[in-house]
Structure 1
Amino acid sequence: MKRFSVTVTIDRPKGYVDKFNNVYPLNYGYVEGILAGDKDWQDAYIFDELAQGVTHFKGEVIAVIIRDDDVEDKWVVAKEGVTLSTEEIYLKVQFIEQYFNSTIILLD
């Protein structure tokens, strides 16, 4: 699958603490207009340390995290041209993905 550009609305900025006391080490949000398996907007992890204090991030989907035991998958979004390994991605998203049986698919 090819990479593609999206704009993510950030609703959980880096440092956000959810109701289960998970601390987000990166920005997290959703892509409006794309419905996910839970019938809500598509969720996305943002891999860009410079995207602090912003409400939107434009980048490209570089990977998809497929959850075998959940109704929705997650997108990994970074600046255009950024390449990360599955290990690098998992290190940042394991704070939540540790609770799921997930597979990371890198996009071309």
Structure 2
Amino acid sequence: MKLYTIKIDRPIGHNHHGTIYPVNYGYVPELIAGDDEEQDVYILSRLTENQIPLTEFTGKLTAIIHRKNDVEDKWVMTSEHETFTKEEIFAQTYFMEQYFDSEIELL
């Protein structure tokens, strides 16, 4: 299993243009996505130590949110031993994904 280290630029509680982030959100440094920017990542975790604003996170890629009406997909990362259902991922990313026509691919 490949692990990735994510830089968090929108930690839990971050206000980005009126949207408050309920999860840590960041990017994979130097991995360029469809929008010619670094790959964006939602960090999902049930672990207490990950329920605070983070600056960095290392974990596994557990799902990809394919946006049908956008130029990029979003990654979903978790700690090494966690799993989430599509419904759980949808619920935790709804704050942003509600604006897109997307589908979740579990890996």
TM-score of the pair, normalised by structure 1: 0.91
> 2:3 maps to what in 1?
5
Match of 1:29 among 19, 26, 31: 26
Gaps of 5+ in 1: none
> 1:66 maps to what in 2?
66
Q: Displacement, 1:5?
A: 1.4
In the TM superposition, 1:88-99 aligns within 5 A as 88-99=88-99
> 1:84 maps to what in 2?
84
Q: Is residue 2:39 matched to residue 1:38? A: no
Tell me how large the CA RMSD over aligned residues is. 1.2
Deviates more, 1:41-50 or 1:57-66: 41-50
Q: What is the aligned-residue identity percentage?
A: 45
Runs of 4+ residues deviating >4 angstroms: none
Distance in 2 (alpha carbons) for counterparts of 1:54 and 1:14: 8
Q: Displacement, 1:4?
A: 3.1
Q: Is residue 2:44 matched to residue 1:47? A: yes
TM-score of the pair, normalised by structure 2: 0.92
- Describe the SS at the equivalent of 2:99: coil
Q: Displacement, 1:47?
A: 0.8
**Are the counterparts in 1 of residues 24 and 54 from structure 2 also a CA contact under 8 Å?**
no
Match of 1:15 among 6, 13, 16: 13
Alignment length, in residue pairs?
104
The letter of the residue matching 1:59 is G
